Structure 1
Amino acid sequence: MRHIILDTETTGLEWKKGNRVVEIGCVELIERRPSGRTYHQYINPEREFEPGAQEVTGLTLEFLADKPKFAQIADEFLAFVDGAELVIHNAAFDMGFLEHELSRLGDGYGKLRDRVTVQDSLELARQRYPGQRNSLDALCKRLGVDNSHRQLHGALLDAQLLAEAWLALTAGQGEIGFASAESSAGTRSSRAAVIPIATGPRPSIAVPVEDLELHQARVEAIRRKAGRCVWDVEAPAAESAAG
């Protein structure tokens, strides 16, 4: 099985407002092991950054001015990902931008989803850790992935971190070894242990106070907008069943 762990950086949060992709980072896994192949490209967005977006990535228009435009790298990018299963954290965001970039090139390129399948690691994390923070940083902390060198968002660095987190999240194999060329050539130490299937009673999990507060705030927002939320209906039934 061929997986491509993918991340993008953009000029803003919404492609519908004309924002563009400024960086693509991809890491290839074959049978859940790093193949050593990566794809990384900075892109001239041909427009300004939205307020705040530049601070997130650390990129500037001056730096990107001599970089290729998306039309110039589209064929190379598509050749790298063609036929793979993409693993993306918050896939709707990145796929929306990439589909928009391709649509700007005309009908000849078609849709990215016709070339690949997509797995959203954010949805996977939410299923495994409901009610908790599941950003990439939160996942790295929870799963023991060292992200101490991540000061800014960068597409290739984030793809490498997501690869390690995804392997651990899906009962991954072992150390992915991205630290350096020298370390990847040497002996790899185990980092993501295989998680056994639990046969006994489920453990009790203590949810951090800040996560409970965020959850409660979200529930209250739903109540204000809809008049009630699913917990208002299901909680009494669950309590009566328990009694």
Structure 2
Amino acid sequence: MDYLSKANSMYLWLAVSPVVLIVALQAIIFVRKALDSAKYADLSHDEAMKAFRVGATSAIGPALGVFVVMLGLMAAIGGPLAWQRLAIIGAAPTELAAANMAAQAQGVSLGGEGYGLLNFANATWVMALNGSAWLLTTALFSDKLEKITHKVSGGDAKKIGILGTGAMLGAMGFLVSNEINKGLKPGAGGIIVAAVAAFVSMLVLERIAKKIPKLVEFNLGIAMVIGMIAAVAYNHM
């Protein structure tokens, strides 16, 4: 059975719709509350609307970056689930990593050979539980975050940045090294080409972004596209 036929079924679209609609409703409520609160900041309605337009415009960059990554996620887990997850979390790399880890835990690659309906169901659980942990932590510990941050960092905010960066590098390094391992097999060199091309692209893009800060939000998506193009070109050589 092709799991994507189920992953993209109308029933699943209907199942995820309530969650997305709730998120849309929350967004509307937040906008209304923000506009109502403008008077407390001595902002006129026109000034508040102008600020809203500036914010909406500046969000286009991050949204496009997420959209590009989402295309890869949709190819692996289908449109409905990718739509729901990114409507709630909005962190495409995190959701992609969770789906990858769910597949690897069952000894298969995400969307690859042997990946079936049971693996897809496992991915939905891992992604949901991963997101639930964030929401639960936020609900229980948001008011204590400042105390915990101060205790861990000893008053040095730079340490928090170092710890967070180290954790992210470790997680992403684990995922990439597993993929490169697969690329060492005969006929799978495209995987290594994709990884190297994306890595080099990211280095170059980061340097360019120092001169063009707005490019930062696009870097991940652009690097992924370049990596995919490089792999396709290699496989057709």
- Which has more helix, going by share of residues? 2
Q: TM-score normalised to the size of structure 2? A: 0.30
More strand by share: 1
TM-score if structure 1 supplies the norm length? Answer: 0.30
The higher-RCO structure (CA 8 Å, 6+ apart) is 2
